[in-house]
Amino acid sequence: MLDFLRKILPNDHPLRLLYHKLKAVAAANIYRFPANGMTVIGVTGTNGKTTTCNIIHKVLTEAGKKAGLVTTVNFKIGEKEEVNLTGRSNISPFLLQRKLRAMAEAGCEYVVLEVTSHGLVQSRLWGVNVDTAVFTNLTQDHLDYHGTMEKYKEAKGLLFEGLNASRRKPGVQKISIVNKDDATAEYFEGFSVDQGFGYGVQRGAYAARNLKVRPDGTSFLLRIPNGEIEVDFHVPGRMNVYNALAAATVGVAHRINLQTIKAALEKMQPVAGRLELISEGQPYTIVVDYAHSEDSLMQVLTMMKELTAGRLIVVFGATGDRDKDKRPKMGAVLHKLADLIIVTNDDLYTEDPREIAAMLREGIPREEGDGVWQVLDRREATRLALEMAKEGDTVVVAGKGAEEVQVVGKKKVPYDDRKVVRELLSRVRDVALPGA
């Protein structure tokens, strides 16, 4: 019945939105509004949400605060961690409220939530009164659901709009923290709050200066209005400097001192499936990353291109039943930055993998075998990449990150890029391929 209704009613139909809201209302009441006893920090944006949430959690725990965490990848209560086996950031309101209740009963003072545009539109956070809203960035994604970039932006804005509209907790201010370097910053800064903070590399009072990028991280000067401190951050990528800045700004906003923030940032390690290095003694670099949008793919491949002495080899496939317009654009990013491209599948859902690949290849003006190969079995595509790789090369397996299943139709098939890479490395053969 639900599948039938999904087919005949558009995503934004009032009946569908009412259905989602009623579920959220029921969940909040069943679990007795656990978020009311904690300070809630919500992080939204297109890219960087999961990493930013994990760094914020690290800052809080380093400051001696007991905190909970809910992201696409993981759940945490204090230092106790659990893998998010749903593979979703847009989790059921019943699961969300159950986790929040467990955090409240464990004595958590804070909870850090990854907040999606889908979850906001569908009222999945109903009954979760957010106190601090963090915006990372806005690039094209999820237009299959929202229709336009304007509606997508407005969906993200619901998190900030709800700050002053939600119930106030004694002694807890409503705070917004915005990436000033993003083109849409002014929109997110326009909502009424008690305190607003802006961060960035180019702009913002909370800034990173003198960046020195290395393969294993970045050192920078963390500067705030009344102080500055050198940070050696062991999570690679310029984009992760932004995530660190967002978390540092949250720390300052919640009166955590710079020395504690520095200690937290310097102890932070990459989040699973986000620029995760796979090292099994091979003479080349392998990275597994979640990048699945034009902007995130551009950032990851640009960084790895700069750090690679040899060739950049990329395994990538677009997701089925999602935002088809971005596929040729992602193909163009691959064409621009990758020396060798292996087009494969991702989560197919109900789409034909050949049609998905064809749209991706619209942005790749190369003939089969001329720096591009189409291998629609993801395991075999990864095997081909490893067989091609030579000393000094970098292989990037992108799109799924730490996900442990692949969705085909309505089935979830066990599949983990990291495990597959390690299995293949144990028996990869040295094969010379024409044109490789």
The predicted-structure confidence for 354-406, as pLDDT tens digits, reads as follows 999 999 999 999 999 999 999 999 999 999 999 999 999 999 999 999 999 99
Q: What is the pTM of this model?
A: 0.85
In the CATH scheme, what is the homologous superfamily, with its name and number, of domain 276-425?
A: Mur ligase, C-terminal domain (3.90.190.20)
Tens-digit pLDDT profile for residues 134-178: 999 998 776 666 678 899 899 999 999 999 888 899 999 999 999
Nearest one of 41, 49, 54 to 268, comparing CA atoms:
54
Judged against a pLDDT cut of 80, whether residue 429 lies above it is answered with no
Range 313-340 average pLDDT = 95
Residue 6 banded pLDDT, cuts 50, 70, 90: low
Report the alpha-carbon angle 239-241-244, nearest 5: 120
Tens-digit pLDDT profile for residues 289-306: 999 889 899 999 999 998
pLDDT > 90 in the chain, percent: 76
Q: What pLDDT does residue 19 have?
A: 86
Q: What pLDDT does residue 145 have?
A: 63
Q: What pLDDT does residue 304 have?
A: 93
Judged against a pLDDT cut of 60, whether residue 125 lies above it is answered with yes
Question: What is the CATH number that goes with domain 2-267?
Answer: 3.40.1190.10
Ranges of each domain in the chain: 2-267, 276-425
Mean pLDDT of all residues in the chain?
A: 92
Residue 186 banded pLDDT, cuts 50, 70, 90: very high
Judged against a pLDDT cut of 80, whether residue 191 lies above it is answered with yes
Query: Which pair of tokens denotes residue 307?
Result: 């750090």
Q: What pLDDT does residue 7 have?
A: 66
- How far is residue 171's CA from residue 398's CA, in Å, rounded to a whole number? 44
CB atoms within 10 A of CB 96: 25
Judged against a pLDDT cut of 90, whether residue 78 lies above it is answered with no
Query: Which pair of tokens denotes residue 232?
Result: 């050696």
